[in-house]
Amino acid sequence: MNKGSSLFKRAVLFTAAIVSTMVVVALLANLFLFNRGGGAMPFVWSALSGLCAAGLASYPLLKLLILPVKRQLRALRDVAVAVAKGDLDARADERMTGELGQLGKALNNLSYQLSRNMYLLIIERNRLKHMLNGLSEGIVAVNAKGRITHRNPALEKMFEAHRSASGRGERMKLIPDQGVWDDFDRVIRDGEVIARNLEFPERVLRIVISPLIDEIGTTAGAVGLFSDITQLERLERTRRDYVANVSHEMRTPLTAMRALIEPLKEGMVATEEMRMRYYDIILREIMRLSRLINDLMELSRLQSGALALQAERMKLGTIVADVCERYQAIAEDHALHFEAHADFSKVPPVVANADRVEQLLVILLDNAIKYTPEGGTISVDAAWDDARVTLSVKDTGIGIAPEDLPFVFDRFYKVDKAHSGMGSGLGLSIAKELLRWMGEDIWAKSEKGVGSEFGFTIRRDRSEA
């Protein structure tokens, strides 16, 4: 204890008062009461008298010198207990003298620093919580015992359709797949990252589970990141199919041409009639290969923005009539019925590019003929309102399944893999890109086994309105 402190001075003063009281009383008792007679008894009685007097004097001295300190210490203790229980607004009286005032000031400073750090931690926690809740990926964390400590809404949404109310335990109610939780337990036990795919009929999830390592190097739990890679998997599958389709489309005419050119080179084709037949087949295969390459280049120009589209006022009647007349003959060659449901001469003028409108109709009619069996019907129709004209092509073909319908306009996507030789699968993608650049829309309606209907919009010319 510091000798200059108030507590030290109080202790010295209390001790001196007690000792002096005892000595004075003992001397007075010996002098006036027990000075007669000899031996040691007078001194003993004098000492006892001094002790009694010291005892009697200690109470008022304690009340005067020590009890105020006790009350102040109790007040400091109450503040410390309140802070320990989380009441960071509790404050000690800094007006106390000496060490107690300094202790009160230190306690208040500690409370302030704790309050400030707690405030910063709460802000950081809320910021982290908002970040996790805003992620499209699912997050779940568990402690060393495998109990769930954190989760975010994206994770709950991912497994919402697969969650069962009868799931046993909190973990199975959140993610109803025991294999996933076995992976979490393995990561906690081995301290190694596990990454794998979790496949459902309608989606594919990528799971990466990593251990949480504390400051002393032990595994304190694990955190799992769940990413929906359904679109990526579908895109990758589509790319693989596209490469296979394009390779097949290119290899087929090249193989045919090689098979025909080699006999011509070797002089094995004896008659002029046979040579001309070979030349016709070679020309058809070359045109087929040229169409595929043109489609690829067209789509590339559209997607790169390198294609200029000139829009002008035009009437659809002549263009649509010419296309219908051309495809009337093609439909008859395929044993199909062709119908025009609208009087296209009455369709109001539009603002568009004539060549591109014709190209769009050709794409839709080609698809309708490819996927409509003999005896089916193909029809072309038009409708309009104050803003736009809608041209539509309807067929009674094989139709499109509901799960395939959202992807029919994707690049290289083919609904019917059995008809993979019937074009490159780029036509509808080109149509969608063309209409996007024109500021228009294209849509599809279909029922499996019944037929399909495709339509696109064209802006009306309002200059005469």
Check: CB of residue 121 under 8 Å from CB of residue 88: no
**275: CATH:** 1.10.287.130
- Residue 19 per-residue DSSP state: H
In the DSSP assignment, the letter for residue 349 is: P
Q: Phi, psi (5° rounding) for residue 414?
A: -125, 125
Answer whether 330's CB lies under 8 Å from 369's CB.
Answer: yes
Q: Name, in order, each residue with C-beta under 8 angstroms of 386's C-beta and a sequence gap of 6 or more.
A: 460
**CA triplet 288, 291, 293: central angle to 5 degrees?**
110
The reply to whether 343 and 426 lie within a common domain is yes
Please state, as a whole number, how many other Cβ atoms lie within 10 Å of the Cβ of residue 285: 19
Inside any domain, residue 262: yes
Q: Rounded CA gap, 231 and 203, in Å?
A: 9
Residue 410, Ramachandran bin (φ over 0: left; ψ between -120 and 50: alpha; else beta): beta
pLDDT of residue 98: 67
Q: What are the residues whose beta carbons fall under 8 Å from the beta carbon of 424, sequence distance 6 or more?
A: 245, 246, 249, 292, 295, 296, 412
**Strands 377-384 and 337-340: what pairing?**
parallel
* Confidence at residue 4, expressed as pLDDT on a 0 to 100 scale: 47
User: What pLDDT is recorded for position 40?
Assistant: 52
pLDDT at 458: 92
Q: Distances from the Cα of 418 to the Cαs of 398, 421, 429, in angstroms?
A: 12, 8, 20
Q: What is the DSSP string of 103-160?
A: HHHHHHHHHHHHHHHHHHHHHHHHHHHHHHHH-SSEEEEEETTS-EEEE-HHHHHHTT
Q: Is residue 319 helix, strand or coil?
A: helix
Domain check: are 221 and 278 in the same one? Answer: no
Q: Which run of H or E residues covers position 177?
A: none
**Same domain (yes/no): 215, 241:** no
Query: Can you give the pLDDT at residue 169?
Result: 78
Task: List Cβ neighbours of 96 (8 Å cut-off, separation of 6 or more).
Answer: 72, 103, 104
- Phi then psi dihedrals of residue 392, to 5 deg: -135, 150
Q: Is residue 118 part of a domain?
A: no
Listed residue (152, 146, 285, 155) closest to 212, CA to CA: 146
Rounded CA gap, 160 and 176, in Å?
10
What range defines the domain where residue 76 resides? 6-103
Verify that 286 and 325 share a domain, yes or no.
no
* 24 and 39 assigned to the same domain: yes
CATH number at residue 220: 3.30.450.20
* Residues 238 and 223 occupy one common structural domain: no
pLDDT at position 34:
52
Q: Is 127 part of any domain?
A: no
185 and 63 within one domain = no
Assess if residue 120 is contained within a domain: no
Single residue among 228, 252, 286 that ends a domain in this structure: 228
Per-position pLDDT tens, the chain of length 465: 455 455 555 555 556 665 666 565 555 555 555 555 555 555 555 565 556 655 555 556 555 555 666 677 777 788 788 877 877 777 877 777 667 777 778 888 888 888 888 888 888 877 877 777 777 788 899 998 889 888 888 888 888 777 665 557 788 888 888 889 999 999 999 989 999 988 887 888 899 999 988 888 888 899 999 988 888 888 787 777 767 767 766 777 788 788 888 888 888 877 888 888 888 888 877 887 787 777 777 767 766 666 666 778 888 888 888 888 888 888 888 899 999 888 888 889 998 888 888 888 988 998 899 889 999 999 999 999 888 999 999 999 998 888 888 888 876 666 655 544 455 567 888 888 888 888 889 999 998 889 999 999 999 987 755
Decide if 148 contacts 174 (C-beta within 8 A): yes
Token digits for 431?
């149509």
CATH of the domain at 356: 3.30.565.10
Residue type, 167: G
User: Which residue(s) pair with 89 in the sheet?
Assistant: none
In a domain, 429, yes or no: yes
Number of domains in the chain: 4
Provide the pLDDT for residue 95.
Answer: 73
Which token pair is 88? 């960071």
